[in-house]
Amino acid sequence: MTPAQRGCLASAKVLDAGATDTGRPYFVMELVKGIPITRYCDQEKLGTRERLGLFMQVCHAIQHAHQKGIIHRDIKPSNILVTLHDGVPVPKVIDFGIAKATQQELTEKTVYTQFQQFIGTPAYMSPEQAEMSGLDIDTRSDIYSLGVLLYELLTGSTPFDTKELLQSGVDEMRKIIREREPVRPSTRLRQTSPAVSPFPLSTLHSPLCTFH
């Protein structure tokens, strides 16, 4: 199977798209019966290799969307549901509700990010997305969010604590995301009890697992 085919398989099918009479855009997507990727991995007690295998499928799906000119802008576990196809786990990327077209209109009434509008989920948001400047974001914002997802799949937590971000207020939240250096995955695992963590620390010394 080619990367493009894997990308199609790991993306929820868009059945229809348009805009309401008031101009609110919408997508009609296939119903995906699954559970968030992080919960699935923990529930099945998957090791590092299996987690990376699912993550690679997610990467192919996002790459496929990017090649179609779509930036997701809200990549997080609850938007990546794992379902079974003939007994084989397949992650499905869903909820393109705040996605943005980069090369073409998503609907006849394309949604543009309004200045000072906070879009996305703070714990998975790139510094550029949190900046809320007049400059638009590109595909690299999704890649950053994929890095956060990988971090969580390997360590069990996001680089920045979700509760702290939500309690800090918008301005401080943006400052944390833009300026604070996250704890390295290997360091985070050393802080976790070996009895809790299923991942050998040696697997996190490779460049692939270095969070940027």
The model's pTM is 0.74
Q: With 60 as the cut, is the pLDDT of residue 176 above it?
A: yes
Q: Which of 69-73, 86-90, 130-134, 178-182 shows the lowest mean pLDDT across its residues?
A: 130-134
Residue 88 is assigned to a structural domain of this protein: yes
Dist CA 9 CA 19 (whole Å): 26
- Please give the residue that has the higher pLDDT: either 1 or 94: 94
Average pLDDT rounded to a whole number, residues 52-79 = 91
Domain limits at 90?
A: 3-13+34-99+118-189
| Long-range pairs of 137-143 with CB within 8 A, sequence gap ≥ 24 | 137/71, 137/73, 137/100, 137/113, 138/71, 138/102, 139/66, 139/71, 139/102, 141/71, 141/73, 142/62, 142/66, 142/71, 142/72, 142/73, 142/75, 143/62
Q: With 70 as the cut, is the pLDDT of residue 11 above it?
A: no
86 catalytic, yes or no? no
Dist CA 149 CA 39 (whole Å): 12
**DSSP summary character for residue 84:** E
CATH number at residue 45: 1.10.510.10
Residue pLDDT, tens place only, 107-162: 444 333 443 455 678 899 888 888 766 566 789 999 999 999 999 999 999 999 98
Residue 109 is assigned to a structural domain of this protein: no
Q: Which of 27-31, 71-75, 122-126, 136-140 shows the lowest mean pLDDT across its residues?
A: 27-31
Residue 70 is assigned to a structural domain of this protein: yes
Check 42, 74, 142, 171 and give the catalytic one. 74
Residue 160 is assigned to a structural domain of this protein: yes
Number of domains comprising the chain:
1
Dist CA 207 CA 132 (whole Å): 30
- Please give the residue that has the higher pLDDT: either 177 or 135: 177
Dist CA 129 CA 95 (whole Å): 18
Q: How confident is the model at residue 191 (pLDDT cuts 50, 70, 90)?
A: confident
Q: With 90 as the cut, is the pLDDT of residue 51 above it?
A: yes
Average pLDDT of the residues of the chain: 77
Residue 205 is assigned to a structural domain of this protein: no
Q: With 70 as the cut, is the pLDDT of residue 74 above it?
A: yes
- Supply 178's token pair: 């833009």
Residue 93 is assigned to a structural domain of this protein: yes
- Please give the residue that has the higher pLDDT: either 104 or 111: 104
Dist CA 207 CA 183 (whole Å): 15
- 59 φ/ψ angles, rounded to the nearest 5 degrees: -60, -40
Output the CA–CA distances (angstroms, integers) from residue 180 to 93, 153, 172, 176, in the order listed: 29, 21, 11, 5
Residue 22 is assigned to a structural domain of this protein: no
Residue 111 is assigned to a structural domain of this protein: no
Q: How confident is the model at residue 37 (pLDDT cuts 50, 70, 90)?
A: very high
- 211 φ/ψ angles, rounded to the nearest 5 degrees: -85, 130
Q: With 80 as the cut, is the pLDDT of residue 44 above it?
A: yes
- Supply 92's token pair: 């499905």
